[in-house]
Amino acid sequence: MFLKDYIVQFNNFLPLKTVSTLIRFAQTKNFEEAKVGIGEGRVDEKIRKVGRYVLSPLNKSLSDCHWSRLLEYKINLFIKQYIINKNLIEQFPFGMSINQIELLKYKKTNHYKFHIDHAKTLERSLSAVVILNNDYKGGELVFKNTINDEQIKMELIAGSLVVFPSNFLFPHAVKPVTEGIRYSIVAWAC
The CATH number assigned to the domain holding 135 equals: 2.60.120.620
Please state the domain count of the chain.
1
Q: How confident is the model at residue 39 (pLDDT cuts 50, 70, 90)?
A: confident
Nearest to 101 by CA among 57, 62, 132: 57
Given a cut of 60, whether residue 137 has pLDDT beyond it is yes
Question: Does residue 35 belong to any structural domain of this protein?
Answer: no
Here the contacts of 144-148 (C-beta below 8 Å, separation 24 or greater) are 144/114, 144/171, 144/172, 144/173, 145/1, 145/3, 146/171
For residue range 97-129, what is the model confidence (pLDDT) as tens digits?
898 999 999 999 999 999 999 988 888 999 999
Identify whether 113 is part of a domain: yes
Q: Is the dihedral of CA 36, 42, 44, 48 positive or negative?
A: positive
Q: Residue 125 belongs to what domain range?
A: 2-29+47-189
pLDDT at 4: 86
DSSP letters spanning the chain? -HHHHT-EEETTSS-HHHHHHHHHHHTTS-PEEP-BSSTT-B--TTTEE-EEEEE-TTSS-HHHHHHHHHHHHHHHHHHHHHHHHTT-TTTSTT---EEEEEEEEE-TT-EEEEE-S-BTTB--SEEEEEE----SEE--EEEE-TTT--EEEPP--TTEEEEEE-STT--EEEPPEEES-EEEEEEEE-
Give a yes or no: residue 86 inside a domain: yes
- What is the rounded average pLDDT of the residues 5-30? 96
Q: How confident is the model at residue 1 (pLDDT cuts 50, 70, 90)?
A: low
The answer to whether residue 91 sits within a structural domain is yes
Q: Which amino acid is at 102?
A: E
Domain presence at residue 106: yes
Lowest-pLDDT choice from 53-57, 61-65, 92-96, 135-139? 92-96
pTM (predicted TM-score)? 0.95
**Residue 136's pLDDT band (cuts 50, 70, 90):** very high
Question: Considering the domain boundaries, does residue 41 fall inside one?
Answer: no
Average pLDDT over residues 17-25: 98
Residue 153 near residue 138 (C-beta atoms within 8 A):
no
Give the pLDDT confidence score for residue 37 in this predicted structure.
83
Residue 36 maps to a domain: no
Residue 37 within a domain: no
